[in-house]
Amino acid sequence: MKRIFRRRRRWLPAPCHLCSRDTTVPHGLCPACEREWRALTGRPRCPGCGLLMPGADGEEAMPCGACRRRPRAFDAAIVAVDLEASARHLVHRLKYHHDFSVLSLLSDTLLQAVRDTQAPPWPQALVPMPVHPARRRRRGFNQAQLLARELGRALGIPVCDRAVRRVRDTGSLTALDAAARRRALRGAFEADGPLPARVAIVDDVLTTGASAEALTVALRRAGAEQVSVWTVARTP
């Protein structure tokens, strides 16, 4: 009788996402880069905007001065890492180079930050930061939607990726300060209600928070009462 041998599933060597050395790590980081990447996580951050705050890793940070002076429209922000060299490299590979091999690492890093920062009950829905249809056509996808689907699958939370629309193409906001961004984004989003009471906005990068605040206003008009923001990275 012929014996049938089942081959064990193995990860084939692939370049490390950060240093390009070969690795068999499923997430695509060699051991050295894995240690460096994990060292960037778990740091104390402002609960209102995710800004990195001084203190020991694992300590709960107090709100930053900006959030004490002007509370945000959203209730809380969870950020995994700062948008520095390694994080910027990974986010840009996904966002601008269509390299979906980094999606698992980015989503799992954000997932761990969520689990470390927030206890259940989880939000009742995840809302990816919407992009204008014209930009979506140019890029071919919405990276926030991809991240939200990964998080929703891991946490058992539905993703409302059609509940909100970006109705104005504001163009690039990179050169604008926080106040100018808020003015440019006023009325940029429309949401179809009713939405559940607890929702989380998912995005790749939090900069000034102006986009998240404008989206929060639209979500509250559609029935959301508690809005948090979950992002992979934040500009320092």
Poorest-pLDDT segment among 1-10, 74-83, 101-110 = 1-10
166 within a domain of the structure (yes/no)? yes
One DSSP character per residue, 23-39 reads: E--TTS--HHHHHHHHH
pLDDT digits (tens, 9 = 90+) for 87-122: 999 999 999 999 999 999 999 999 999 999 998 999
1 within a domain of the structure (yes/no)? no
183 within a domain of the structure (yes/no)? yes
2 within a domain of the structure (yes/no)? no
Q: How deeply is 77 buried, as exposed, middle or buried, from its count of CB atoms within 10 A (0-12, 13-18, 19+)?
A: buried
Q: How many domains does the chain have?
A: 1
9 within a domain of the structure (yes/no)? no
| Residue predicted with more confidence, 193 or 6 | 193
Q: Span 186-197, mean pLDDT?
A: 89
pLDDT digits (tens, 9 = 90+) for 171-187: 777 777 778 888 878 88
Query: Is 86 in contact with 104 (CB distance < 8 Å)?
Result: no
Query: Is 236 in contact with 208 (CB distance < 8 Å)?
Result: no
5 within a domain of the structure (yes/no)? no
Q: Where are the beta strands (DSSP E) in the chain?
A: 14-15, 22-23, 76-82, 125-128, 164-166, 189-191, 198-206, 226-234
151 within a domain of the structure (yes/no)? yes
Which three-class secondary structure state does DSSP give residue 229? Answer: strand
pLDDT at 212: 95
Statement: residue 4 has pLDDT above 70: no
pLDDT digits (tens, 9 = 90+) for 217-228: 999 999 999 999
140 within a domain of the structure (yes/no)? yes
Please tell me what DSSP assigns to residue 159: B
Alpha carbon distances (Å) from 71 to 22, 104, 204, 225 = 46, 33, 22, 16
- Domain of 83? 14-234
